[in-house]
Structure 1
Amino acid sequence: MMSGCSWLDATTREQIVAVVDLKAGIAVHAVAGNRQAYQPIAIGGKTAGDPFALVAHYRSLGIRSLYIADLDSILLGQPQIALLERLISPHSDLDEILVDIGLPERDTVASLLKSVRRRSNVFVIVASECATNATSLRRFEGALDYSQLVLGMDYRQGVFVGGDDSDDDWDSGGDWDSERDWLEFADQLGIDRVVALDTATVGTSRGPSIAEICSRIRRHFPSVKLYSGGGIRDASDVKLLQQAGCDRCLVATALLKR
């Protein structure tokens, strides 16, 4: 195990979902949501940006869950289907693999959805930042069971980003009205996994800032499996998010330190 990951004890390891951000075929280091400035990740003597080397590194640390974000799909609507399938297919033994593809047109990801459907440990995230409103959660209806979909609740500096719904202040409840619309609709559809992530803290090693939001989600929707992260430095930050109601924590930067 790399010395910089000495904080990763057996108990903490079980709570970690290791992050792979893909841009133009390479694995990049996400920092503060400035996606145009993301740089390739180098692991040991491997080629910088090799996503397979990154996954192998995470597995060498004993991590059993992955979060794979396809930035080409999220930002451009151009999913990296072949790469995603190559990353997913060898890891049927992992506990779970969450794949964030934003909200591309359904026909552009038909083969990926078909592949996911055959793998009970793989789940597709529908990202609120890419949608017009909560009904966008129906985009893949019929192609994938709702039990394999995950609601991605996106935030920027604490402000919910959810298409038109994020501007909804109909009863002066602000962001919570928008959040609740998405969460209630997901619940109605049978989606029982939620990833809440604030891009402003990702990769900053400043500690998580989303604990209050996680607590709010957990309080109102106690049965969801809740994931979050951003800025996590060590086991104490993981514990902080667990105390806020998170079941699993998304981590990248803290797992790359030597």
Structure 2
Amino acid sequence: MKIIPVLDLMGGLVVHAVKGRRENYRPLSSPLCPDADPFAAVEAFRNLHPFDTFYVADLDALMGLGYQNGLVAALRTRFPDIVFWLDQGLPDAGEAAPAGVVPVIGSESIPAVARLQRMATRDWILSLDFFDGRMKGCSEILAQPQYWPERVIVMTLNRVGSFDGPDLVLLDRVHRLAPDRVLIAAGGVRNGADLESLESRGVHAVLVASALHSGSLELSRLGSVRS
């Protein structure tokens, strides 16, 4: 099971994402690092394990408050051996993401299936964003798995930072729709038992933040952890 740490960036700081309520997010306070500095957060995660992939949510961009491309580019420069997955939604015309990142585009940012069909075949990741079982954005995307890219995140926003456990029913549903896709779970993961349950269902990777910061996911006891 591949574990991918998460950095939720707002106003240049790492924030603690809880249940998808972005208006309530506050700067990170964690036993792992002294403050909400993104560079310190990456170092803290890497002190736990040599992770080679990080997921970055540019919440400013997702909320229409501007792009944090300078910060993301600086992270890439500081950590050239890390692959950064970057979720900024659909970029505005003329607003290019920093070079070298893998774009993540969430369903909440895709207005229609036609837009999904027109997307270039470049390397990108689709995030199916759910809240309380309902998909955000164009729900018709679920009925068109033939247009999904190779990698798909199942993001249960209402479980992010909740320690409620992953939404296994939802993950099973998406897996049945596209069993040939690389499935990535996000939201609710608490411990090694959750990872085992996800892996047994064909989930390839998981996005994690709170369980790493809290210590409830003890990497030293997980012999199959991959960076």
Q: TM-score, normalised by structure 2?
A: 0.85
Match in the other structure for 1:179: 142
Instruction: Note the residue ranges of structure 2 that are not aligned, 5 or more in a row.
Output: 216-227
| Alignment-mate amino acid for residue 26 of structure 1 | L
Contact 1:128 1:134 in 2 (8 A): no
| 1:246, distance to aligned residue in structure 2 (A) | 1.1
Indicate yes or no: 2:132 matched with 1:157: yes
CA deviation string 1:220-255 (max 9, x = no partner): 322211111211111111122222221001110011
Partner residue of 1:174? none
Residues 14-37 of structure 1 show CA distances to partners (whole Å, capped at 9, x for unaligned) of 521100000011100000011011
Which of 24, 33, 36 matches 1:37?
Answer: 24
Aligned residue among 152, 172, 183 for 1:194: 152
Give me the whole-angstrom Cα distance separating, in 2, the residues matched to 1:240 and 1:231: 13
Q: Does 1:124 align with 2:95?
A: no
CA distance in 2, matches of 1:246, 1:68: 20
1:34 counterpart letter in structure 2: R
Instruction: From 54, 67, 76, give the equivalent of 1:79.
Output: 67
Residue 43 of structure 1 and its aligned partner are, at CA, apart by 4.5
Query: Of 75, 78, 90, which residue of structure 1 is paired with 2:78?
Result: 90
The 8 Å contact of residues 62 and 89 in structure 2, kept in 1 or not, is answered as yes
Alpha-carbon offset, residue 106 of structure 1:
3.4
What is the CA distance between 1:46 and its match in structure 2?
Answer: 5.4
Query: Counterpart of 2:225?
Result: none
Find out whether 1:135 has 2:114 as its counterpart. yes
2:221 paired residue number:
none
Match of 1:204 in 2: 162
- Provide the identity percentage: 30
Corresponding residue of 1:244: 201
Distance 1:139 1:99, change over 3 A: farther
Greater fraction of residues in helix: 1
Distance in 1, Cα, partners of 2:32 & 2:134: 40
Bigger Rg over Cα: 1
RMSD: 2.1
Residue-by-residue CA offset, 1:88-117 (whole Å, 9 max, x unaligned): 2333323x4211111231312x2x25x12x
Give the corresponding residue for 1:3.
Answer: none
Deviations 1:159-213 (A, max 9, x none): 11123xx2xxxxxxxxxx54122x2222xxxx2111110110000111112x222
The separation in 2 between residues aligned to 1:207 and 1:46, in whole angstroms, is 24
Secondary structure of residue in 1 paired with 2:63: helix
* Structure 1 residue runs without a partner (length 5+): 1-13, 117-121, 167-176
Aligned 8 A contact 1:18 1:67 in 2:
yes
- Structure 1: how far apart are the matches of 2:75 and 2:18? 22
Distance 2:48 2:114 in 1: 39
Closer/same/farther in 2, CA of residues 162 and 245 from structure 1, 3 Å limit: farther
Asked if 1 retains the 8 angstrom alpha-carbon contact of 2:31 and 2:214, the reply is: no
